[in-house]
Structures are given as structure tokens and as C-alpha cells.
Amino acid sequence: MVLSLEQRGSIFLVAVVCLLVVGICAPFSGHDLQRMMQIAIGACAVLYGLSVTRVERLVDRPTALGLMLIIGLGLVSSMRAHQPLWALVEVALFISCGAIAVAFALARRQGGQSLDRALIVFVVLLCLIKSIQYTYAGALAFISAEGRLDPDLLLSGFSNKRFYGQFQTLTLPLLALPLLIPTLSRPLKAAVFALLCVWWLIAVGGGTRGTWLGMGATGVVLAVLGPWGRRWLGWQLAAMLGGLLLYWLVFKVLADYLGIEIANAASDRLTTTLSGRGPIWWQAWHMLVERPLLGFGPMQFADIANSIAAHPHQAILQWASEWGVPSALCVAVLAWRAGWATLGVLRERAQSTEWADLLRLCLFAALVGALVQSMVDGVIVMPNSQVWLALVVGWLMALHVWRTPQTGQLPLAWGAWKTLGLLAVGLLIVIAVRDVPHIARAQQQYLSSHDNMLQPRFWAQGVIAR
């Protein structure tokens, strides 16, 4: 039986949903499982792409040429790197994320508006599951607490609470979409608002300042994007205040009543310190100055051992120091062009109440928040964040309204892209097969000699320095 393109897209999306649920909601989940989940999603995306013979354009010619230039510069930089294989793995990750974004765009175009609703239902259910996990862990902690409780221990499914915060930055904007739908019933809106308040409670308890920075910047941007942008901001501010109230009632009033001391309280994180980022920013800057044209090679920041991190927690510095300044400028120009084009569509349809237009607004908000957070955090490094960024970008590509008539992709270019994706995912699978059986032992060896702290990059133990 030959499946239609729409059916193949549905199979791809079902596979992605299953992998994301396991990677995010499983109690045993963490960085390494999420990296394997990402590789599996990349493989599904490439297989789906291979079944598509002809598509309408997803990007314009300058964007396609820019992407090819970035990949070409990345390959040249990899050949000059101290560890070329790991550098090529980073380039393969970039290509696989592109393949995932393209697959989401193709699936959305085939599935139409019904997939927009399915996406939001999935986000709501995912946030609901995580909220139930948090609430259940909190109830057990209060019952069994012996005078002291750490809210950080209530966060599950992520190796680090900052990775959880990145996930929230990408989902908080989308979770507000049902509240913007005029036809949605009041009971459903009340339920979604309650969930959004709990989601903000978890953001407050997690204390990821990058999430606050990203959401704050997003609020400023959306405030000037018409009435629906301001309504989105109003709902987010109301839910944030609700989350703060819930946090105060649970971790202050109830904790004091039960005589429980709260460790790592949210108020303890209201600081302006760089939390150790200064030295790694300087390291990235010195790398950039030493090799400005091609950088040290993708992922090669992790090849220079330090006591803090295997990436600089700053997207621009990371890309410029590893891939080179020309590549970083090319990425910045493409990001600016894409953002400006999306902004133009948002302004033109500022009064629209169509699902697609409201979803575009929320997707744009998620993208802005994630990009702002990437200036102080490893959003472009962590596997789950990379997958969600690809989802957001792919969906925006599918929803984009072109000013000129769409034309089919050049068969040669489409064929070259599919071949590139196949090679990239193949390399990632080879690395996973090579490393996964030995991950636990390698981590234990590293922990025994490095102050019991892992530094994530490709794997949770991400330092590749020999």
C-alpha cells in the first residue's frame, strides 16, 4: 500500500509527539536521553523528506544561498579544527535541525489548519503533564519534609533547571493562544489560564533568570504588534501575577505554617551577577580574536577545558568563536531578514482573529524569547531546545505569507538538501552507536576527577578535550 504525502506527514508527527513526551516527561529523562530523542526525530524528518519529490518553496533564494554558505564555512572550519570529527558532528546537528524544521513545515502545509489546533492541544497537554508532575512532587515533599525543602528538587525530566527554563520560554507564549481565541468557551479559557498560572509558578520556583529576560523582551515586542499582541501581554502579566501569588502561598505561607525552611528560594536568585559567565565569555572572546575568519571549529569551545562550562552561554560569542565571524554575521543577517519578514506579516494581519494569524503571533513570541535567552544561556546547545526551536521555525515557515507567487523548489537543490540531511543524520547515528554503550562509565570517570560536576555539550559530559 502506498501512503499519501499527508499520511506520511501524520506518521512523522505522531513519531515526534511520542519521542518528545518520553524525552520531556519521563522521570528518568535527561540530557543524554533528549539528545538521542533529537537524533531519532532528525532521522524521522530526513525519512519524511526523502519521500517528498517536489515542494513549493520554503525559503527565498538569498536565504538558501546563505544557508549553503554557513554550512560550507562550517565544513571548512571543521577541517581546520583540533578535533575535526566532533566539529563535523556539530555541523551535522545544525543540518539535522534544518531537516526537522523543513519536515514540520511540509507536514503543516499538507495538514492545514487542523494541525495548528493539534499543536496547541499537544502543548497544553505537555504542560499539563509537567504541572501535574511538579504538583505531585511538591505534595510529597511537603508531607515528608523534615524542616527543609528545596524547590529545585521538584523539577523533573531535565538535567538542569536552566534547561527546564528554556523549555518554558518556548512554551509559555504558545500556552496563551487558547486565551486569544474569541470562540473558546469561558470554562475552557479558565482552565487554560489556571494552567498558565501554574506554569508561571514553576518558572518562578525554577528561578531561571534567562526565562524572565526572554519573556520580558518578548512582552515589549508584542506590546507594539497591535491589539492581539497587547492582549497576549495582558494574559501573560495576569498569569505571572497568579504564579507569583501561588508561589507566595505555597512556599511562604504554607511553608511557614508547617515550619519548613525553603532552600534556594526565588528571592535568593534576584541578583545581577553573571553566575560564572564572565570567564567563559572572555574565553570565547579570546578565541574569536585569535581566529576571526574560521574560528576554532564547531564545538571546539568544549575542547579547551575550563572549570565552568563546555559552551559560553552566549549564542553570538559561541558561533563567532567556533564557526568564525563571517559565519556569525551570515547567521545574524538571515535571522534578521526572517524576523523582519514575519514582523511585516504580523503588522499586516494585526486585526485578524484567524487561528493561523494568532498562532503566528505566539510562535513569533516564542522565537523572540528563546533568541533573547540565548544571549545568556545555552538555548542553541541543549537538545530539547534545539528541537523546539526547529519546530517553531518550521511552523513559521509554513505559515508565512509570500508577497510574490510561490514556485517549486529546484529539483537539484532539493535533492542536494535531502542528501545532506541523510549524511548528517547518518553521522549522528554513528556517534550515538559508538558512545551510548559507554556513556555511564565515561561520566563516572569524569565526575571522579572534576568536582562531581558534568559540563553538557553534545552529551551530558560534553568536554571533548583530551
Range from 169-173, 346-350, 407-411 that averages highest in pLDDT: 169-173
pLDDT in tens, 138-148: 898 888 877 78
Question: Which residues are 56's β-sheet partners?
Answer: 408
Tell me the pTM.
Answer: 0.94
Q: What is the pLDDT of residue 407?
A: 61
Which grid cell sits at 437? 554503550
Q: What gap in Å lies between CA 199 and CA 243, rounded to an integer? A: 7
Q: What is the pLDDT of residue 405?
A: 64
Residues composing the chain? 466
Q: What is the pLDDT of residue 408?
A: 57
Q: What is the pLDDT of residue 2?
A: 62
Which grid cell sits at 424? 548528517
Residue 262 φ/ψ, nearest 5 degrees: -100, 120
Q: What is the pLDDT of residue 447?
A: 86
pLDDT in tens, 359-406: 999 999 999 999 999 999 999 999 999 999 999 999 999 998 887 766
Position 342 pLDDT exceeds 80: yes
Residue 300 to residues 34, 305, 309, 326, Cα–Cα distance (Å)? 22, 10, 12, 17
Residue 428 to residues 78, 88, 238, 380, 436, Cα–Cα distance (Å)? 15, 10, 43, 17, 12
Cβ neighbour number for residue 234 with a 10 Å cutoff: 14
